[in-house]
Amino acid sequence: MKYTATKETLNQLVADLSQMAMVIHQTHWYMRGTNFLKLHPLMDDFMDEINDQLDVISERLLALDGHPFSTLAEMAANTKIKDWPGNFDKTTPERLAHLVDGYRYLAALYQHGIEVSDTEKDYSTQDIFIGFKTAIEKKIWMLQAELDQAPEIDA
């Protein structure tokens, strides 16, 4: 089978991007306090970007004759991004730090994709992985700046 590791990585991203969208949604819904008026609409932008990445990743997997996960059960069974029950017991900074954790995981997964697609000589998918990793690293930087912390990007 051609591009086996690349397709596995793409499908892992389908599950994880779907989960990340929900984690961002939860942050959006359960946010209170300082910077609410700024951060609440910003989460819409974050969700849009993750959903756009999900669409591109899924369509690339289909183009490679793969089969993206497409049920909530598949997403939940395969994601490696942690979630929390929805309530108001977390502060906004705690929620933003949780987003950073998810984004760091995605950056590492995109890096893995860069490496396996290079090995399998799927340079078109590799280009997608590189662009999305760069976008994710920007989100890490932005969130870390909001939390008054250095980005600590592993390049």
pLDDT in tens, 62-106: 999 999 999 999 999 999 999 999 999 999 999 999 999 999 999
154 belongs to a structural domain: no
Angle between helices 92-119 and 4-29 (to 10 degrees): 170
Q: What is the CATH number of the domain that holds 25?
A: 1.20.1260.10
25 belongs to a structural domain: yes
The answer to whether residue 6 scores a pLDDT higher than 70 is yes
pLDDT at residue number 1: 63
- Please tell me the total count of domains within the chain: 1
14 belongs to a structural domain: yes
Structural domain for 72, as ranges: 4-146
74 belongs to a structural domain: yes
pLDDT in tens, 28-44: 999 999 899 999 999 99
153 belongs to a structural domain: no
For the chain, the helix, strand and coil percentages under 3-state DSSP, each to the nearest 5:
75, 0, 25
Model's pTM, two decimal places? 0.96
151 belongs to a structural domain: no
pLDDT at residue number 154: 81
